[in-house]
């Protein structure tokens, strides 16, 4: 097969098919374009209703590809001969997959000349699955990262190519960590392709005995369980922010919690009980310690510091949050 060789850098400019959908995928697509790789086609999920108005909207990857002048397809089904034939006809060196959102069949994984590379937002084999960023924060991890891997038929089980660590800061939410890992993932992708060009890549099999998992989160998974410790709840709230969002119920009113801080306290009150405190704070008993709520939103209001919220919605000590 003939290659395009960059005479300035001496690196091979591979032909690539890019597969991705959400914002996390966008820096990787942009990096490929900026570094001169031939992106033969972008594959992303079909346009879907989004936002409060449920307006049908293209994925962030589709919009980026169109802005860059790259051909885009949006198959509803990928386990078809037609899809495989379309990929095969382009003779790609690599497929690059970043949060595409669909499981590729084995025959499609095998189509590129060299391989199918996935950028995954954890240090595999830790946190295999659909929500590694959220679970890293929920679990109270101090460090996570991104890695490139060769995809196989398993769920994030392929050989690891390159890794890059990222510290999880005390104030990080899943959202802030997501943004840093998306950029770091793009760098790892380019470094991986450079290593292939220089023939220095060394795939490393994963130790499956060390695997942990990060299952997909749903809207219902944001419900706060006050029986857990204050520290674990603080991690949980950060880990589900901005999505699916942490929430609790005050009677029939749903309260969304955005930030909090744990307080070490030897109490015997039932978990979920609002405790006596200063007028401008909301302290809640947990299974171990006390959680002080810092930012909150009512069902029909906006996100507010707890002091402002309590001015208009006083929550009396002794109230049970569920």
Residues sharing a CB contact under 8 Å with residue 228, sequence separation 6 or more, in sequence order: 236, 286, 287, 288
Task: Say which DSSP state 35 is in.
Answer: T
Residues of the chain above pLDDT 90, percent: 89
Query: What end-to-end distance do the CA atoms of the chain give, in Å?
Result: 63
The domain ranges of the chain are 4-210, 219-312
- How much is the average pLDDT of 204-208? 98
| 213 has pLDDT over 90 | yes
What are the start-end ranges of the H helices in 139-229?
Answer: 174-197
Mean pLDDT over each residue of the chain, to the nearest integer: 94
pLDDT, tens digit, for every residue of 227-274?
Answer: 999 999 999 999 999 999 999 999 999 999 999 999 988 888 999 999
Position 1 confidence tier, pLDDT thresholds 50, 70, 90: very low
| 125 has pLDDT over 80 | yes
The phi-psi region of residue 49 (left if phi > 0; otherwise alpha if psi is between -120 and 50; otherwise beta) is beta
pLDDT, tens digit, for every residue of 284-300?
Answer: 999 999 999 999 999 88
Question: Which numeric CATH code is attached to 219-312?
Answer: 3.10.25.10
Q: Pick from 114, 128, 193: which is nearest to 156 by CA?
A: 128
List strand residue ranges (DSSP E) for the chain, in order. Answer: 4-5, 12-13, 15-20, 38-43, 48-50, 55-57, 72-73, 94-98, 115-120, 143-150, 160-167, 246-250, 253-263, 282-285, 290-297, 304-305
CB atoms under 10 Å from CB of 4, counted, come to 13
Going by DSSP bridges, is the β-strand pair 115-120/246-250 parallel, antiparallel, or unpaired? unpaired
| 132 has pLDDT over 80 | yes
Given 3.30.70.1560, 3.40.50.170, 3.90.1640.30, 3.30.479.10, which CATH number is that of 4-210? 3.40.50.170
| 10 has pLDDT over 80 | no
4-210 and 219-312 in the same fold: no
Weakest mean pLDDT among 45-59, 192-206, 216-230 = 45-59
Query: What pTM does this model have?
Result: 0.94
Position 53 confidence tier, pLDDT thresholds 50, 70, 90: confident
Rg of the Cα atoms in the chain: 23
């Amino acid at each position: 097969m003939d290659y395009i060789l960059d005479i300035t850098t001496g690196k091979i400019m591979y032909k690539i098919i890019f597969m991705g959908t959400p914002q996390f995928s966008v820096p990787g697509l942009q990096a490929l374009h900026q570094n001169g790789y031939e992106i033969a086609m972008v594959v992303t999920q079909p346009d879907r209703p989004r936002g409060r108005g449920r307006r049908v909207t293209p994925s962030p990857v589709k919009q980026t590809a169109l802005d860059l002048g790259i051909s885009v397809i949006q198959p509803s089904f990928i386990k078809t001969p037609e899809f495989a034939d379309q990929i095969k006809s382009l003779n790609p060196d690599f497929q690059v997959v970043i949060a595409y959102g669909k499981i590729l069949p084995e025959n499609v994984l095998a189509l590129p000349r060299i391989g199918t590379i996935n950028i995954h937002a954890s240090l595999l084999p830790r946190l295999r699955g659909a929500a590694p960023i959220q679970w890293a924060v929920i679990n109270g991890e101090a460090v996570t990262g991104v890695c490139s891997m060769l995809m196989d038929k398993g769920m994030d089980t392929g050989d690891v190519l390159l890794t890059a660590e990222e510290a999880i800061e005390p104030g990080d939410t899943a959202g802030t960590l997501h943004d840093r890992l998306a950029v770091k993932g793009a760098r790892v992708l380019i470094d991986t392709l450079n290593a292939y060009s220089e023939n220095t890549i060394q795939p490393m099999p994963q130790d499956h005995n060390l695997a942990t998992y990060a299952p997909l989160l749903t809207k219902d998974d944001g419900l706060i369980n006050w029986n857990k410790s204050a520290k674990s709840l603080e991690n949980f709230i950060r880990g589900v922010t901005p999505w699916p969002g942490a929430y609790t119920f005050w009677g029939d009113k749903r309260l969304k919690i955005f930030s909090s801080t744990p307080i070490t306290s030897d109490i015997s009150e039932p978990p979920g009980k609002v405790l006596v405190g200063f007028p401008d704070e909301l302290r809640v008993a947990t299974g171990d310690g006390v959680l002080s709520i810092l930012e909150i939103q009512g069902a029909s209001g906006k996100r507010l510091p707890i002091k402002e919220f309590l001015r208009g919605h006083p929550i009396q000590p002794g109230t049970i949050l569920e």
